[in-house]
Structure 1
């Protein structure tokens, strides 16, 4: 698959997350989409963000093919009802935090968005 064991593990986690998010899509198809997206980065020297980029591209392709479902980011989140207060914040996956920050623009600080 890739050159580094850490990247291989991260890509396996991407496949797992996408399989949860797209339960109606076969795991084989998800693996094929992720593999195609991963190979677009073959020959790249900087590999640190490859799993994040692969997940984003694969998710976009899978969304275009069918409907995604919302899944809890943690097993504990599934057991907590919506009416129960949460004493501790749930721990999110670092890649999910990265995705959310890019979608919300928080890291960029929405620099030009507000009136002065």
Structure 2
């Protein structure tokens, strides 16, 4: 039977691994994902694979959160308004056009 001490050890191990893999994320975000995923899995009857299942679930969650950040970032249309920058060979004032 797994004890609370064993549970904390599983959580610490997964947090340690995922902090390395997601070094660009705040440690508190990684820890929260691991603890929440562990809690969701901890009451299952078979606890033999808690470490790997917790790591996989938290990793997917952190990847999804990273994808959401990328998707929610402003998207460039590729058009740049450079009309106020002078260009060689082109007049800088509208009167000269």
TM-score normalised per structure 1: 0.50
Displacement of 1:44: 2.0
- Specify the SS of the correspondent of 1:40: helix
Give ranges in structure 2 of 5+ residues lacking alignment: 68-97
What stretches of structure 1 move > 3 A for 4+ residues in a row?
A: none
CA RMSD after TM alignment: 2.0
Is 2:65 the partner of 1:53?
no
Matches within 5 A, 1:73-112: none
Displacement of 1:64: 1.7
How far apart, in 2, do the equivalents of 1:32 and 1:23 lie? 15
Matches within 5 A, 1:1-116: 3-66=3-66
- Specify the SS of the correspondent of 1:24: coil
**CA-to-aligned-CA distance 1:38-70 (integer Å, 9 cap, x gap):** 111242232110111010011011112228xxx
Pick the structure with more helix per residue.
Answer: 2
Bigger radius of gyration = 2
How far apart, in 1, do the equivalents of 2:47 and 2:28 lie? 24
TM-score normalised per structure 2: 0.58
> How many positions carry a matched residue from both structures?
66
